Amino acid sequence: MFLGGCAADTHLVRADLRKGRVDLDGRLLEPGWRDAVSIDGFVVETPSRPLTEADSDIPVPAPPLTEAFVLWDERFLYFAFFCADEDLVVGRVGARDEVEIRLRVGGNRAEPLRVVISLPQSVTVEGEAGSSELPWGGVEAATAVFGSPDDGGDIDRFYSVEVRIPFAALGLEPFALSRPERIEVRLLRREVSRGHRTDLVHPEPRMQRDLERAWADLVLSWD
């Protein structure tokens, strides 16, 4: 984990110091998010593919707009996603809209913490839970949906997600700035639309064969 400013590099993800309220309601309207830096540049990790053979004749939709934001304070990391989506899908496991956060401490041999948030509001946490004894390592999440999921007769707008992850879930409690650890992050979005699923990821890999190894350093900014 690096402290200070963040360069314009897709392999650096900036987390701004939280200066305002975050209510964790999924709507991203709180003062805490107002000045957070937008993380975009999500790229296709897995090309769009039909969910069933019957869907193979449906035209492949273009990847939608995806933005993420990260904040931090002395106890938590806060993640938010804004996902444009004209066809919201909450149907069945493995075929619904969702986002995922992967975090690891101490380099590429570390076991990542995986947090998956699926619409309408399902949270799955896998990996090491640090020293926390709370359910899911103390991870909390909320979603807000703007549209009519699973209704092919209308055009939806977007969904948004807020996630709060304790540093304890990464084994970093008490959080000691005097002994910073390196934290790496990988952000994913799984988009289901018109019978197809597309996987989007940030950061963008430097080479195509590095898709599974593409991680960004999390930069904790004091600004």
Q: Mind listing the domains of the chain with CATH numbers?
A: 2-221 (2.60.40.1190)
Strands 66-72 and 76-84: antiparallel
Residue 180 has pLDDT above 80, yes or no: no
Backbone angles phi, psi at 132, to 5 degrees: -75, 140
What pLDDT shows up at residue 111? Answer: 77
Please state which of the ranges 67-81, 89-103, 174-188 shows the lowest mean pLDDT. 174-188
Reported as a pLDDT band with limits 50, 70 and 90, residue 132 is: very low
Does residue 219 contact residue 4 with C-beta atoms inside 8 Å?
yes
Residue 163 CA, chain-centre distance (Å), reads 8
For the CA atoms of 156, 69, 134, 171, the dihedral, rounded to the nearest 10 degrees, stands at: 150
What pLDDT shows up at residue 182? Answer: 83
Q: Which of 70 and 130 is assigned the larger pLDDT?
A: 70
Residue 57 has pLDDT above 70, yes or no: no
Q: Two tokens at 216?
A: 């960004």
Report which of 199, 197, 150, 196 is spatially closest to residue 56, judged by C-alpha positions. 196
Q: What are the tens digits of pLDDT across the range 80-94?
A: 999 988 888 887 666
Task: Over range 154-168, report the average pLDDT.
Answer: 88
In this structure, is the dihedral angle defined by the CA atoms of residues 9, 10, 12 and 17, taken in order, positive or negative?
A: positive
Instruction: Count CB neighbours of 209 within 10 A.
Output: 8
Task: Over range 148-152, report the average pLDDT.
Answer: 72
Reported as a pLDDT band with limits 50, 70 and 90, residue 139 is: very high
Q: What does the mean pLDDT of the chain come to?
A: 78
Read off the DSSP letter of residue 21: -
**Contacts with 49 (C-beta within 8 Å, 6 or more apart), sequence order:** 196, 197, 198
Can you tell me the distance from the alpha carbon of 123 to that of 163, in angstroms, rounded to the nearest whole number? 10
What pLDDT shows up at residue 20? Answer: 94
Tell whether omega for the bond before 174 is within 30 degrees of 0, i.e. cis: yes
**Three-state DSSP state, 148:** coil
Q: What are the tens digits of pLDDT across the range 31-56?
A: 999 889 999 888 887 665 554 554 44
What pLDDT shows up at residue 146? Answer: 87
Residue 173 has pLDDT above 80, yes or no: no
Task: Over range 182-186, report the average pLDDT.
Answer: 90
**Three-state DSSP state, 215:** coil
Does residue 169 contact residue 33 with C-beta atoms inside 8 Å?
no
Reported as a pLDDT band with limits 50, 70 and 90, residue 136 is: low
Can you tell me the distance from the alpha carbon of 70 to that of 38, in angstroms, rounded to the nearest whole number? 8
Instruction: Count CB neighbours of 174 within 10 A.
Output: 9
What pLDDT shows up at residue 129? Answer: 46
**Three-state DSSP state, 125:** strand
